[in-house]
Amino acid sequence: MNPEIANQLLELNYQFYQSFAESFAATRQRLQPGVQRVLQTVATEARVLDLGCGSGEVARQLGRDGFQGSYVGLDFSAGLLAEAQDGAPDFARFRQADLAAADWDAGLDADGYDVILAFAVMHHLPGEALRLAFLGKVGALLAPGGRFIHSNWQFMSSERLRSRRQPWARAGLDEADVDPGDYLLDWRRDGEGLRYVHQYGEEELAGLAAQRGFKVVETFYSDGEGGKLGLYGVWEGA
């Protein structure tokens, strides 16, 4: 993907989450079944890094589960981070960071993390170059034996969500500008907005894992209509 197009798609999402942070957070107050399943595997004393932590519900759930380790949540949205700070457990620390930036990992624990989470994050990263750069940093941040656990939205599995697709012309782009699996979706709560989203398949994710030296430990579907709206991956670092 042309870097200028990738930046345009990133800017589209920046504007969306700045404009709709409050209404978006209101739709994310209950964790998906797949996320709940994953969190049950996190050791009580683990060092956890939550990428794209949003409104902080993962940290609150870990607190309810008796978690006593360390937790750092990163998100680029100041509005969502404000929501995350409200009622956050004592072990949780939050910071603003843009996961598409070259320096998003600056200042993080050099000793690494036992678990790195990225729920509904990677589908907002446009282009393979950016995805590989992101995964390279994730791999470097994992402690020996650590695991990267992520979910990716499978919106094309839902007739209702498929109907939210919009023509690229609404974002000033053409179909030829974007990659296969890229879509423009609308938002209709507290106003109308547009988001860039990429739908991954198992084969594409496995290819990314291989290029960055991850071992795919588990892949499963969960959430929403028919339990197929989230594609989860549990990867082990090199």
DSSP codes, 171-210: GT--GGGS-TTEEEEEE-SSS-EEEEEE---HHHHHHHHH
Question: Which pLDDT score, from 0 to 100, does residue 231 have?
Answer: 95
Question: Which pLDDT score, from 0 to 100, does residue 125 have?
Answer: 94
CB proximity list for 6: less than 8 A, separation 6 or greater: 126, 127, 129, 130
pLDDT tens, residue by residue, 90-141: 999 999 999 999 999 998 987 899 999 999 999 999 999 999 999 999 999 9
pTM comes to 0.90
Contact assessment for residue 93 and residue 73, using Cβ atoms and an 8 Å cutoff: yes
Q: What is the CATH number of the domain that holds 102?
A: 3.40.50.150
User: Which residues of the chain fall below pLDDT 70?
Assistant: 19-29, 188-191
Full domain range(s) for residue 207: 3-236
Domain count for the chain, please give it. Answer: 1
